[in-house]
Amino acid sequence: MEVKKIFLPESELPRKWYNIAADMPTPMEPPLHPGTGQPCGPEDLAPIFPMPLIEQEVSQERWIDIPDEVMAKYQIWRPSPLYRAYSLEKFLDTPAKIYFKNEGVSPAGSHKPNTAIAQAYYNKISGTKRITTETGAGQWGSALSFCCALFGLECKVYMVKVSYQQKPYRRIMMETWCGSCVPSPSTETNAGRTILEQNPDSPGSLGIAISEAVEAAVGDEDTKYSLGSVLNHVMLHQTVIGLEAQKQMEIAGDYPDVIIGCAGGGSNFAGLALPFVRDKINGKDIDIIGVEPTSCPTMTKGSFSYDFGDTVQMTPLLPMHTLGHTFVPEGIHAGGLRYHGMAPVVSQLLLDNLFRPVAIPQLETFQAGITFARSEGYISAPETDHAVAATIREALKAKEEGKEKTILFNWSGHGLVDMAAYEAYLSGKLADHELAEDEIERALADIAPLPKPQQYKG
Amino acid sequence: MEVKKIFLPESELPRKWYNIAADMPTPMEPPLHPGTGQPCGPEDLAPIFPMPLIEQEVSQERWIDIPDEVMAKYQIWRPSPLYRAYSLEKFLDTPAKIYFKNEGVSPAGSHKPNTAIAQAYYNKISGTKRITTETGAGQWGSALSFCCALFGLECKVYMVKVSYQQKPYRRIMMETWCGSCVPSPSTETNAGRTILEQNPDSPGSLGIAISEAVEAAVGDEDTKYSLGSVLNHVMLHQTVIGLEAQKQMEIAGDYPDVIIGCAGGGSNFAGLALPFVRDKINGKDIDIIGVEPTSCPTMTKGSFSYDFGDTVQMTPLLPMHTLGHTFVPEGIHAGGLRYHGMAPVVSQLLLDNLFRPVAIPQLETFQAGITFARSEGYISAPETDHAVAATIREALKAKEEGKEKTILFNWSGHGLVDMAAYEAYLSGKLADHELAEDEIERALADIAPLPKPQQYKG
């Protein structure tokens, strides 16, 4: 009997998050104040975030303790199991060994609660009563609603309108956990009203929803804002994935030659990859791959620049790979991963060649998801299908080359609340979309007047 | 750090299913042939089921080996974790200790694959190419589609029409796993056409869908039929739940005073309870509770009688608690658990007072589900909410009595594909429904002319 799933006992849950800022060969550029253009101090961020999270955002400490209260909530679903994908290997007839970390076991069905629970906790102890946030496909909004329920916080979610209409189950999940959810752009904020005046039929975007959520937080001292990806403290919290995976790979008696994760804002990719990036910095030979959609090619075609995190330019300027803060992705793409920017941590590691980005068209990702479902059983989130597709590419390459190889990918969530996307694929209604060069130029033009980071290599 | 989840290593997966037929104080009455009224022999069942399942159906062996090929597939999600519900206990301020077995970790999200995988396997080795079945709320149809995909079998599902319309995600899950799904009554079978002639707007029922699925199987020698509950071999396969739970409770250093499961056809209740019923027969003092909806009160108000499993009287007559094979449940009930009959195994144990049935109105079950989601995090299937509601009743009783008590319930599945039911509850659109005495009399009148089992105590 071959072991398929490797569990860790709860006593082996990591007690500290790993902060890669301590080990990066090139330090990150600081965020800049949107008004002054000067580096942001903690006081600039205080109206938006509670102080413990601001401290984590700028920390250079390699290891940061996970509070007991967060540990106790992590126990609801963590440690998550590491799986060996024997059936997929057999189906592909590959010499590669394929492992995946199953983050779909959380109540919200994805990796997002890893940071939501920490953010809810730090807000709670800082006196916050209410958290605002945005959500695209709905994974983040539901995760934060779930975690706010556990700590007795109110949660208000601005959901990209096109997703709000397509994914009612996500909204109902939020409401089941006490969250309240409105379609964005909404009439509740100046940002939303401004967008609606320009375009009453705006489908919304993450950039717009962030503007609304930030505005709603800044105006009320009991309210803070929360972001589900991109920021340093979010990447930090997600490292619990990779730290567990390292222990589990050791139990399996194996070590990955290839690490794969899908990347929208970068948090699930970073969560698995960062502890292994540390190994790479320390001399290990690992091929680390971040996967994005060809329809939102932030890493493969974007510019590394200072840019706003939101559409109406309320957030600090972040040094990141970006398609421009006014970028609105094509509605055709059924999954998430549609944010215009990439986490500064991930962007800097990309500049330093510590991983390589790959863009995959959406039809290939759904085909991969179907193959996975019919071999391994689990139906992946459309986002996760990007990681599955890259894994299949690598496994087939290993077969072609006749090479044994160990692949580890992050199965960041299940797709049971995203079945409409599968139906669109199965019924032939989805198409691929690759941004033309002139579309990219047009998107990037908006960020041109902004300051350039010193390490700009564009 | 208190342990919340108890995992078993895969090496501790039970190697045998437990067959309670070997230990029942009163043997079950045999099924009768629908034409002759004589006890069914294996040859009567051969057009419907493969021989290994027929042998299990009538077996008196206490332990039946789980084949290696089934074990390998069980490893995809089994052993399932046993949870301690600390947060729910705290919320209820109860002295009771509450444990639950999390069957929601399977790819289909419920306990149903425990038998689907075994049935797919035995069909595969018997040369079956195609399996037909029915599904109500969709849990069973999606579970069988998933398991057929793993063994390369075709799967055809007749889905109760009202659910087919309300729950498109379930249908898309089936299609993602290669299954094909049509609304029942359909025009593909004589049974379906007959019903549609009488009532073109028939919402369908499990009884009708079973008629269609059986008819489609009987007419084709490569095709067999599969049932997701009620039959002895289904109860048998589900005992893997209780057998694991016994090992896990031992690791927890505890033993349940109360066992709770919801019951539609009876399989998830039996799956957890039967190994403990054996302990009870051997002298243990355990309060075992089967929970049903007040809108379909098979155990609490039905008659113990011989009745058909389907509406158009194609199946053998089974000795069971029943509301009559023409019973069509009110459309108002949002969950499953709406079958007119109860498994013969469960029915006989009820006659012998080895457990007690409880009926709970639907508003209380959803309120319980919300309480569970906001304390323990996981959103339960509406069916499972019945078990949660009974657990909360028992925990509050323990508080009232000031008694320590250990409760174990079967968390039979998650509700992420059933969010429409939660929305109906949250928006005040659901009502309770209790069958009036004359409705029950009317339903039961249809079974009156059928033979009565010798143990009939009505």
A62, pLDDT greater than 60: yes
Q: Which pLDDT score, from 0 to 100, does residue B335 have?
A: 67
Averaged over B93-121, what is the pLDDT? 98
Averaged over B393-404, what is the pLDDT? 97
Which amino acid belongs to residue A255? Y
Averaged over B374-399, what is the pLDDT? 97
B453, pLDDT greater than 90: no
Q: Is residue A79 included in any domain, yes or no?
A: yes
Q: Is residue A167 included in any domain, yes or no?
A: no
Which helix or strand (DSSP H or E) is residue B55 part of?
Answer: helix B51-58
Q: Which pLDDT score, from 0 to 100, does residue B394 have?
A: 98
Total number of domains constituting chain A: 1
B199-255, pLDDT tens digit by residue?
Answer: 999 989 888 999 999 999 998 999 999 999 999 999 999 999 999 999 999 999 999
Whether the Cβ atoms of residue A173 and residue A166 lie closer than 8 Å to each other? no
A334, pLDDT greater than 70: no
Whether the Cβ atoms of residue B223 and residue B148 lie closer than 8 Å to each other? no
A171, pLDDT greater than 80: yes
Say yes or no for a CB contact (<8 Å) between A169 and B11. Answer: no
Averaged over A140-154, what is the pLDDT? 97
* Tokens matching residue B261: 């499961």
- Residue to substitute from B114, B154, B416, B422, interface A, most A β-carbons within 10 A: B416
Q: Which pLDDT score, from 0 to 100, does residue A312 have?
A: 86
Q: Which pLDDT score, from 0 to 100, does residue B137 have?
A: 86
Count how many Cα atoms sit within 13 Å of the Cα of residue A153 in the half-sphere of its side chain. 33
- A396 lies in which domain range? 68-109+233-444
Q: Is residue B435 included in any domain, yes or no?
A: yes
Q: Which pLDDT score, from 0 to 100, does residue A455 have?
A: 58
Q: How confident is the model at residue A449 (pLDDT cuts 50, 70, 90)?
A: confident
A329, pLDDT greater than 80: no
Averaged over B396-414, what is the pLDDT? 97
Q: How confident is the model at residue A388 (pLDDT cuts 50, 70, 90)?
A: very high
**CA-based nearest residue to B82, from B244, B254, B290, B262:** B244
Averaged over A245-274, what is the pLDDT? 98
Q: Is residue A170 included in any domain, yes or no?
A: no
Q: Which of A30-39, A386-395, B407-416 has the lowest mean pLDDT?
A: A30-39
CB atoms within 10 A of CB A65: 11
Q: Is residue B337 included in any domain, yes or no?
A: yes
Q: Is residue A265 included in any domain, yes or no?
A: yes
Q: Is residue B140 included in any domain, yes or no?
A: no
A437, pLDDT greater than 70: yes
Average pLDDT, chain B: 94
B24, pLDDT greater than 50: yes
Of A11, A105, A422, Cβ closest to residue B172 = A422
ipTM associated with this complex: 0.96
Of B3, B177, B378, Cβ closest to residue A374 = B177
Radius of gyration of the CA atoms of chain B, in A: 20
Cα distance between residue B61 and residue B59, in whole Å: 6
Q: Which pLDDT score, from 0 to 100, does residue B392 have?
A: 98
Q: Is residue A114 included in any domain, yes or no?
A: no
A370-382, pLDDT tens digit by residue?
Answer: 999 999 999 999 9
Residues above pLDDT 70, as percent of chain B: 98
Q: Which pLDDT score, from 0 to 100, does residue B333 have?
A: 67
Averaged over B178-197, what is the pLDDT? 96
Q: Which pLDDT score, from 0 to 100, does residue B367 have?
A: 97
What is the least distance, in Å, from the CA of B384 to any CA of chain A? 15
Peptide bond into A185 cis (omega under 30): yes
Q: Which pLDDT score, from 0 to 100, does residue B271 have?
A: 98
**CA-based nearest residue to B318, from B229, B239, B236:** B229
- Residue to substitute from B106, B169, B178, interface A, most A β-carbons within 10 A: B169
Q: Which residue has the tokens 């960062």?
A: A274
Nearest CA in chain A to B367: A176
B127, pLDDT greater than 50: yes
Q: How confident is the model at residue A72 (pLDDT cuts 50, 70, 90)?
A: very high
Of B4, B106, B416, Cβ closest to residue A76 = B4
**Burial (Cβ within 10 Å: 0-12, 13-18, ≥19) of residue A1:** exposed
| Helix runs in B38-156, H state only | 42-45, 51-58, 68-74, 86-92, 113-125, 139-151
Peptide bond into B449 cis (omega under 30): no
* CATH number of the domain within which A81 lies: 3.40.50.1100
